[in-house]
Amino acid sequence: MAGFEDASLSLDDFLGGQVRLLQPKQGYRAGVDPVLLAAAVPAEPGARVLELGCGGGQALLCLAARIRDLRLTGVELQPDYADLARRNAAQNAVEMTVVEADLAALPVDLRQMQFDHVIANPPYYRAGAHSPAQDVGRQISLGGATELNLWLDTAARRLAHKGYLHMIQRADRLPEMLSACLGRLGSLEVLPLAARVGRDAELVILRARKGGRAGFKLHAPMILHEGVSHLRDGENYRAEIRAVLREAAALPWPG
């Protein structure tokens, strides 16, 4: 039977305790990335939202804490994490459908559905391009075998006309993401995320629109931390980033 044993899980606060998530003590544990991804989505109440590779449901549940009455669906390949996402939805009293499936073989009923928003936080490394992790769940989360092209194709097929995709990924994989959008998605915008002033951006958030025709936008990097170096213990996020991470504020997407 799928599912983590209770003793192997911790209960962790996100968004200043507005969201409480069960996570494996050993295995994939969410950082700020899914929180930032959720904060970038300009959804309205009642919108249909699909997450590809939802893990334990972190991004969807953070989005639900900011925007009420969303119709949430997650797709997750690993049975243990799909079960964990369902448990986390119940833990936070959020209605969410979790479908256990491979992106390459979605169930027929899901393939007939359209969504206003699709979000994704795909594995950051190509399979075999990073040091192997001992935990299988963490191994898949770091370096999945599914190509980014399939992630983008699946997202485009599931989006309704004028629907939005948001994807967070390593900056060095941006060329793959942009190439996969050609002929599928338009109105591409890229928001680089840099740890500090003067640092290269390690992550990017891609925003794309089904049927969008606006020109490409490469925004100035969003800086996450104060100062040019870490000078003291404790977190030193910039005020607008702290509001995202602790108060469920929307990410201040450039106009």
DSSP class per residue in 52-74:
ES-TTSHHHHHHHHHSSS-EEEE
CA distances from 250 to 87, 226, 233, 247 (A): 25, 19, 26, 9
Tell me the C-alpha distance between 86 and 60, whole Å: 11
Tell me the C-alpha distance between 233 and 74, whole Å: 36
Phi and psi based region of residue 31 (left: phi greater than 0; alpha: psi -120 to 50; beta: remaining): beta
pTM greater than 0.85: yes
CATH numbers and ranges of domains, the chain: 6-185 (3.40.50.150)
Tell me the C-alpha distance between 107 and 112, whole Å: 9
Per-residue buried b or exposed e for 182-200, using 16+ beta carbons within 10 Å of the residue's own CB? eebbbbbbbbbbbbbeeee
Q: Specify burial of residue 215 (Cβ count, 10 A radius: 0-12, 13-18, 19+).
A: exposed
Q: For residue 94, what pLDDT is reported?
A: 98
Tell me the C-alpha distance between 115 and 164, whole Å: 9
Tell me the C-alpha distance between 87 and 163, whole Å: 28
Extract the residue ranges of the chain whose pLDDT is less than 50: 129-131, 133, 135-143
Tell me the C-alpha distance between 31 and 23, whole Å: 11
Q: Helices in 159-207 by DSSP H: which ranges? A: 174-181
Helix 174-181, helix 148-158: angle, nearest 10: 40
Counting residues of the chain whose pLDDT is more than 70, the rounded percentage is: 90
